[in-house]
Structure 1
Amino acid sequence: MLKALGFDSLEQLMAAAVPGGIRTADELGLPEPVDEEAAAAELRALAGRNNPLEPMIGLGYSGTVTPAVVRRNVLEDPAWYTAYTPYQPEISQGRLEALLNFQTMVGDLTGLPTANASLLDEGTAAAEAMTLVRRANRKASGAFVVDADALPQTIAVVRTRAAAMGIDVVVADLATDGLPDGELSGVLVQYPGASGRVWDPRSVIEAAHERNALAVVAADLLGLALLESPGTLGADVAVGNTQRFGVPLFYGGPHAGYMAVASGLERHLPGRLVGVSVDAEGRSAYRLALQTREQHIRRDKATSNICTAQVLLAVVAAMYAVYHGPEGIREIARATHLKALRLAAALRAAGVEVVHDAFFDTLTVRVPGRAAEVVGRARDAGVHLREVDADTVGVSTSETTKEHHLLAAVQAFGGEALDALGDDALAVPDPLRRTTEYLTHEVFSTHRSETSMLRYLSRLSRRDYALDRGMIPLGSCTMKLNATTEMEPISLPGFANLHPFAPAEDAQGYAELVDQLEGWLAEVTGYDRVSIQPNAGSQGELAGLLAIRGYHRANGQEQRDVCLIPSSAHGTNAASAVMAGMRVVVVKADADGSVDLADLQAQCEKHADSLAAIMVTYPSTHGAYEDTITDLCRIVHEHGGQVYVDGANLNALLGFAKPGEFGGDVSHLNLHKTFCIPHGGGGPGVGPVAVRSHLAPYLPTHPAHPDPERREGTGPVSAAPFGSAGILPISWAYVRMMGAEGLTEATAVAVLSANYVAKRLAEHFPVLYTGHGGLVAHECILDLRDLTKRTGVTVDDVAKRLVDFGFHAPTMSFPVAGTLMVEPTESEDLAELDRFVAAMVAIREEIERVASGEWTAEESPLRHAPHTARVLAADEWDRPYDRRTGVFPAGYDPDKYWPVVARIDQAYGDRNLVCACPAPEAFAGQ
């Protein structure tokens, strides 16, 4: 590969590629690397320092049992966790079906017709609902009213988001006092409340509607198996968390949040929505609907910056429902409720006050002056309870609560025994008892044995293309190896089963892991402090911009609210800036794709008094090392602004340059890119934010943070103090095993791979941009625009044709329409790179056959791609190329990947939005 590029060594290549002005002088200051066995042993020791007692703390996080068949064949299966977001639906039909199961499950239980394909967590889902009701009802004005009995972390996240966007939030005891006076744009009710209280919110919902506001209900999904659905109660939006549907506690995440909406609101949904379209052969096929409308089309007009979901965890939750079915879910809910009933009866028999008579799984217990004592006694007996205040204790039951846990809790309060209760006992008011059906689709009653469930999961995974099949050369997405040794520790009980609000003394292993990882990330980026709380890149962007706003305000510069964003930037940048309360000003790009410094200078001068920041990606969004990055940073700093360096392309810098040293003040880092957390089919992601010391006081805080000094301040951007803590062992293991030399070599090999592909393909497809030394960084853009003009063959045609060659397509039309962005990463070997090059060269030859007039674009194998087994087996073949050319363009391959559907009509799907599972007969014979 080096020989093809004219270099003798990786060091020589990187010296030519990376501008000298940003090169770091010193080797990364990381511990000496260890081998896989040693790293695994260290992680086991860290997990062993956590003490996951029976989690009876509640507050939206519950003990649950992940069915072994789901754990082994989804959560721990690379066919599921190494897949990318299903933007190429023809090779994502398994994941899309699983997500449609998720949407159907949520829609059924909430009683609302349209649910999205998951959000990041319950707190951020509630914040998204706040902005949804405001944009959906443009006549509404005034405060967003939040139930005082909402989960405290939800209230905190909503307040963080609202403060940045200038929205007034009023917290009120809705059950007791009803809606406050004054104008309101929406109301959020917790159902059941954080205290466990169950009350009928219909009067509040009706009052909100009378005042031209929309109602959001944050609901416990398992509780909805016994409680009447929010939709039946009149809710416009339902939000919550699906964690207790088989997803481990993970010390707070990753978990799949959910949102469902009433008819007429579906096109306001944030995130992703799976619908049904038709393929080229007229058959039904799943796809993402309206998938780019928010950030990429609306940009600075967007009201959500969410560009990821929690697909892997949503699939786990959906398959939990498929595995148990409606009867099983109801029985789990019933058993959970009965445990709480027995606990309440035993406490009352012992003379202890249980505050609420109506509840599902959570009790608020009054013990004047004894709360700490009770919680301590329970902990000694193996149970975590919640100390609400000095006089009050919260207790929650779950699927995992056993008889001895209940007895330990009773005895901690001073009681002695538990009595049996009849199966018909219920502490739910009659008007709120569930009467509507749920999980009626056939998929939720078909797989009643592990054999059937295993085959269903396997069948779906075979319909998808993930890294276990071959390269996914997606520019900007860094689809690299997720090593098994990195993945295995997430299932260790010490990491998987710990409640996020467990006492600090029972989370010492997590504390050490987080401290070490934050320190390592600060070292490799050149920053002073890191917070790993943001649970997605979008949340990291928001946290970084909030830190900048906080810094300016603390300096008496509140008027600094202009965020400069290059025209080539990812759409989330503009959306994040707006959500942080900033005004977006676009900076032009030069012909070579770099930021136009003359326009930058002009914009900085124009907005000198109001300049807050610039958001810039480095290497550039165009995949090039720009020589001008230090000049850009200097110009912005001279005009009082801060420099936000988007960390999406850090895989091209690690070990060679540090954003915090060449001019950056803040960056977010995509751990699901550079640091090996898998994409999971579209989530989980982790987006830590790294800052220089002057911004450190404005990093995210959390009211339940184990460190008291990090409870007050900017506020949280995620529901849990450490975001998606459960998958941090993956990145910890990556850095621990690679060390300074390994991380640096990985960067060099990634750059080598991209330049090798660019060199090999340059005579067939022009490489649009190069940077320092005439080289690309870790990705390259192939320009098809002239070919499209001459032949009519589009990037979509090339992308779909690559499926026939056994590849996932590169990134299409980003950052430049009509192009393909290729990022091979350091994980692919030479044979796989050469296979990709050969496929692209063969496709180029097919384009020439269209150009020569041998085929029209419409009749070519490019336009008919991808080819299915069904078309191969058809009795008739009326195409101007033979069957072998269509289905085996690279020669016969016994391991060929076969898509189960032909090309899908995207426009049809957007015009005909279908949001629930179609009847099974719709897919008969496919």
Structure 2
Amino acid sequence: MNTVFKKSTEGREGVWPVKPEKSAADLLPAGLLRGKSAGLPSLSELDVVRHFTQLSKRNYGVDGNFYPLGSCTMKYNPKFTETAAALPGFTRLHPVLPQLKGAGRMCQGALEVMYETEQLLCEVCGMKAFTLHPMAGAHGELTGVMIMAAYHKDKGNKKTKIICPDSAHGTNPASAAIAGYEVVNLPSKDGIVDPDELAKVLDDSVAGMMMTCPNTLGLFETNLPKIVEMLRSVDALLYYDGANLNAIMGKMRVGDAGFDVVHLNLHKTFATPHGGGGPGAGPVGVSERLVPYLPVSRVEKLEDGQFFLNYDFPKSIGYVAPFYGNFGVFLKAYAYILRLGGNGLIRATENAVLAANYLRKRLDGVLDVPYDRVCMHEFVASACKQAASSCHVRALDIAKALLDRGYHAPTIYFPLIVKEALMFEPTETESLDTLDQFADDLIAILAEAEINPDSAIGAPRNLPVTRLDETRAARNMELTDDL
């Protein structure tokens, strides 16, 4: 497929615009006028429609296929939330409209959405306050660590380290390092954090610990009460990576469990879009002692019921996003939470955990599961058995073979503590039929690979791009508009 520019045919038109009464020279200063044509393609309406329709068919999305990617999976995107976000009263707002007083009250509805979204997230997570400013999950992580740093600086604490378990999400160490901390890696024991190992690295220089609970193995951190006690003994804060909140939502409030900071991936738990570079949203919640350090501005409610943005927080970490974050994204999450209600959120959690355990049992004996016990929302299998056998099929080959059968590949080679890792997260929205078909296809791939290893090692064969030499592609990139 060529780019839209290569399909251009000189003289072809798709629309016939009305001739303007004035020329561009009459409307714009001379310094803003082009010296030559804009070089736009010449296409008919049908050319344009067909071009972009064909491009859309090359996209892989949850609307079309099963998406078992683990760790940071996009949930389904309910269409009613798109309708809510497209309401003219929201889409026509400008971020600098007046907030209060008489005829100037032009964005009270948006401010109310922001305020109520924060309150709902506080209730779900057991936190004192939330900010909606961060524009992605990793951005939320960084914001959370910056809040932790502001707390220690305000107290005069000389803290230089943040502990990151080897079962935490991969962006945790990066966020801590960007915030200026030395990262201390903590080895897990039997898949979870071991208090004895924590004791070896915990001292007065530790600012906090970043945990994913359940962790990337899909296992709940059963030593959490002891960990909280140990951290508080040295005034270290406990950070909750909320990417896996969909495994405990409605069952446990992380603030009640002792976490001081939490970031949420709205695409992971609250059904907002994900991927393609954004937009995203990574709201951050804090316990009461960290409220003064939240980013500005903050939405507050006056006694007369009006909402306004308060910038008067001298200990705040300041601005972390332009204006108020990605409003349209958390508007969708707000609609989703209201639609499900408390009971619906709990059902979503239960279904996510049930689906993961069902798929884990369906693959029993086919792939090794190093930590083979009841999991939460996801589990990590290993292709070590296949890689060591005569067929020499590895996790990468299995993932590529799944592409040929119409599935998105699972997460592979992460977490690093599992060799030949394949991480599966079926999510709460997939039917039993879909899970069974996926399991059947995966079992068939592995069975065929034992007889004919090239069936997996040579995959994918049926996609626009087949197996690449990934090292060569990264080191000798050739950019072209020909696909």
Please give the TM-score of this superposition, normalised by the length of structure 1.
Answer: 0.47
Whole-angstrom distance in 1 between the partners of 2:50 and 2:163: 52
What one-letter code is carried by the residue in structure 1 that aligns with 2:191? G
Residue number among 719, 744, 753 corresponding to 2:355 in the alignment: 753
- Structure 1 residues 582 and 457 mapped into 2: Cα distance closer, same or farther (>3 Å)? same
Residue number among 148, 160, 174 corresponding to 1:575 in the alignment: 174
Question: Quick check: 1:537–1:687 contact (8 Å CA) kept in 2?
Answer: yes
For 1:697-846, list aligned pairs within 5 A. Answer: 697-702=292-297, 707-710=309-312, 713-720=316-323, 722-770=324-372, 774-790=373-389, 791-816=391-416, 817-846=419-448
Structure 1 position 704, deviation (Å): 12
Bigger-Rg structure (1/2): 1
Does residue 693 of the first structure (1) align with residue 288 of the second (2)? yes
SS at match of 2:240: strand
Which structure 2 segments of 5+ residues have no match? 100-104, 301-307
Does residue 666 of the first structure (1) align with residue 268 of the second (2)? no
Cα deviation 1:771-813 (Å, max 9, x = unaligned): xxx3011001111123212232111111111122221111111
Cα deviation 1:580-610 (Å, max 9, x = unaligned): 22221111122x2212322211110xxx222
Residue number among 598, 603, 606 corresponding to 2:196 in the alignment: 598
Q: Which residue number corresponds to residue 303 of structure 2? A: none
Q: Which residue number corresponds to residue 651 of structure 1? A: 246
Structure 1 position 620, deviation (Å): 0.9
Question: Quick check: 1:764–1:841 contact (8 Å CA) kept in 2?
Answer: yes
Structure 1 position 439, deviation (Å): 7.3
What one-letter code is carried by the residue in structure 2 that aligns with 1:819? A
Does residue 862 of the first structure (1) align with residue 483 of the second (2)? no
SS at match of 2:281: coil
What one-letter code is carried by the residue in structure 1 that aligns with 2:111? A
For 1:556-635, list aligned pairs within 5 A. Answer: 556-557=156-157, 559-590=158-189, 592-604=190-202, 608-635=203-230
Question: Quick check: 1:501–1:704 contact (8 Å CA) kept in 2?
Answer: no
Whole-angstrom distance in 2 between the partners of 1:697 and 1:630: 26
- Structure 1 residues 489 and 551 mapped into 2: Cα distance closer, same or farther (>3 Å)? same
Question: Quick check: 1:780–1:821 contact (8 Å CA) kept in 2?
Answer: yes
What one-letter code is carried by the residue in structure 2 that aligns with 1:575? A
What one-letter code is carried by the residue in structure 1 that aligns with 2:406? G
- Structure 1 residues 556 and 652 mapped into 2: Cα distance closer, same or farther (>3 Å)? same
- Structure 1 residues 424 and 701 mapped into 2: Cα distance closer, same or farther (>3 Å)? closer
Cα deviation 1:93-145 (Å, max 9, x = unaligned): x9xx99xx9xx9xxxxxxxxxxxxxxxxxxxxxxxxxxxxxxxxxxxxxxxxx
SS at match of 2:322: coil
Which structure 1 segments of 5+ residues have no match? 1-93, 105-321, 336-402, 404-418, 850-854, 869-898
Structure 1 position 575, deviation (Å): 1.4
Give RMSD over aligned pairs: 2.8
For 1:214-253, list aligned pairs within 5 A. Answer: none
Question: Quick check: 1:704–1:711 contact (8 Å CA) kept in 2?
Answer: no
Structure 1 position 652, deviation (Å): 0.1
Whole-angstrom distance in 2 between the partners of 1:698 and 1:616: 21
Question: Quick check: 2:69–2:424 contact (8 Å CA) kept in 1?
Answer: yes
- Structure 1 residues 464 and 566 mapped into 2: Cα distance closer, same or farther (>3 Å)? same
What one-letter code is carried by the residue in structure 2 that aligns with 1:830? L
- Structure 1 residues 603 and 439 mapped into 2: Cα distance closer, same or farther (>3 Å)? farther
Q: Which residue number corresponds to residue 102 of structure 2? A: none
Whole-angstrom distance in 2 between the partners of 1:710 and 1:572: 31
Structure 1 position 421, deviation (Å): 8.6
What one-letter code is carried by the residue in structure 2 that aligns with 1:569? A
Q: Which residue number corresponds to residue 317 of structure 1? A: none
SS at match of 1:649: helix
> Number of aligned pairs?
457
Cα deviation 1:153-210 (Å, max 9, x = unaligned): xxxxxxxxxxxxxxxxxxxxxxxxxxxxxxxxxxxxxxxxxxxxxxxxxxxxxxxxxx
Whole-angstrom distance in 2 between the partners of 1:612 and 1:425: 56
Cα deviation 1:700-729 (Å, max 9, x = unaligned): 114999523457531111112x20002222
For 1:445-594, list aligned pairs within 5 A. Answer: 445-446=41-42, 448-504=43-99, 505-557=105-157, 559-590=158-189, 592-594=190-192
Structure 1 position 669, deviation (Å): 0.4
Whole-angstrom distance in 1 between the partners of 2:448 and 2:29: 69
For 1:120-159, list aligned pairs within 5 A. Answer: none
Question: Quick check: 1:623–1:769 contact (8 Å CA) kept in 2?
Answer: no
Question: Quick check: 2:194–2:223 contact (8 Å CA) kept in 1?
Answer: no
What one-letter code is carried by the residue in structure 2 that aligns with 1:656? K
Cα deviation 1:401-432 (Å, max 9, x = unaligned): xx9xxxxxxxxxxxxxxx99943852539xxx
Question: Quick check: 1:562–1:613 contact (8 Å CA) kept in 2?
Answer: yes
SS at match of 1:648: helix
Whole-angstrom distance in 1 between the partners of 2:78 and 2:271: 8
For 1:373-384, list aligned pairs within 5 A. Answer: none
Structure 1 position 818, deviation (Å): 1.2
Please give the TM-score of this superposition, normalised by the length of structure 2.
Answer: 0.88
- Structure 1 residues 470 and 703 mapped into 2: Cα distance closer, same or farther (>3 Å)? closer
Whole-angstrom distance in 1 between the partners of 2:338 and 2:25: 54
- Structure 1 residues 908 and 764 mapped into 2: Cα distance closer, same or farther (>3 Å)? same
SS at match of 1:662: coil
